[in-house]
Amino acid sequence: MALAPMADITDPPFREIIAGIARPDIFYTEFISADGLMHEKGRAHLLRDARFTSGEHPIVLQIFSANPEKIRVASALGKELGFDGIDINMGCPDKTIEKQGAGAALIKNPQLAKEIILAAKEGASDLPISIKTRLGYNKDELEEWLPELLSVEPAAIFVHARTRKDMSKVPARWERVARAVQIRNTYSFGHRMSKTLILGNGDVLNVAHAKKLAKDSGADGVMLGRAIFGNPWLFSDVPKSARPPQEILETLVAHTELYENYFARVHPVKSGEAGDTKRQFDGVKSFAVMKKHFKSYIAELPNYKELQSKLMDTKTAMEVKSIIGEYLKNLV
């Protein structure tokens, strides 16, 4: 059971919260530009996204690029930083990433995709290399695309059971994950069969659902994504629905405080007593990014819409804590 890499969702603070409650079998970072890691100006910001705690092992660094040499160097950096594996994004449909020839655009360029995987292997040395991709670009071309990837023997391939054209507008086609397993099972290197793991992704509701999908498809594992929104209890034996409102809201406050401590900078206050400081977001990530989590945390709580409205006007973790404190008083 793997936690999917999702931009502005599975950042270091949220992964730390999840690891402290109930962790998946493996974590993935948000995807990080290998090209950006080569530039001194953006490197520090990107490395901030690559931080992790000891409780997150095993954790995989996900990177993207259309340049094999930059993938090689970024993979070597991932090993140096202590990651347990490198994942290459070959499925992201973001247009700015596709314009670079990366993400889902690599489905249209199998030769370059293979060169990138081989470069990652060279850079990462003994670390496993995995690929996250889709069924195809404009159409389902799994029978043509998957063997290309298998030919360079990545450790694992995560198959998002939709095409790039599909985005998330159609249901995930898990029968195609089953087909991916069949293709892997019949792919051989002479007398040696492929050992690449096949994992499925798409429309997974919870761990029980994931286990059923894995059993039905024959997949070696499952990657869960959107189900984690507002639900750091996703991998716990006690689901969020069985948790009291106070626990849910206290976790939201802890998450918000951790986010602010992680991404805001401490600045001296110009007026007031000497030594006074305040926290400000300086463009690395704004407090607004944290607000993406608010509705997901509270959607099942009584009168959540009024609480949501107040939370969306906040600018600091202290304000969030105060509003939630008042809400809990009135709830009792």
Look at residues 195, 228, 261 and tell me which one is the last residue of a structural domain: 228
Cα distance between residue 326 and residue 328, in whole Å: 5
CATH value at residue 71: 3.20.20.70
User: Which tokens sit at 14?
Assistant: 């949220």
Residues 6+ apart with CB under 8 A from 253: 317, 320, 321, 324
Q: Are residues 210 and 254 in the same domain?
A: no
Residue 320 is part of which domain span?
244-331
Q: Are residues 177 and 315 in the same domain?
A: no
Q: Are residues 143 and 274 in the same domain?
A: no
pLDDT at 168: 85
Residues serving a catalytic function are 92
Is residue 238 domain-resident?
Answer: no
pLDDT at 47: 87
pLDDT tens digit sequence for 272-297: 554 444 566 655 688 999 999 999 99
Where is average pLDDT lowest: 12-26, 64-78, 258-272?
258-272
**Across the chain, what does the average pLDDT equal?**
93
User: Which tokens sit at 261?
Assistant: 């401590």
Is residue 236 domain-resident?
Answer: no
Q: Are residues 289 and 164 in the same domain?
A: no
DSSP strand pairing (27-28 vs 59-64)? parallel
pLDDT tens digit sequence for 126-143: 999 999 999 999 999 999
Mean pLDDT of the 306-319 span: 95
Q: What percent of the chain has pLDDT over 90?
A: 85
pLDDT at 164: 97
Q: Are residues 267 and 198 in the same domain?
A: no
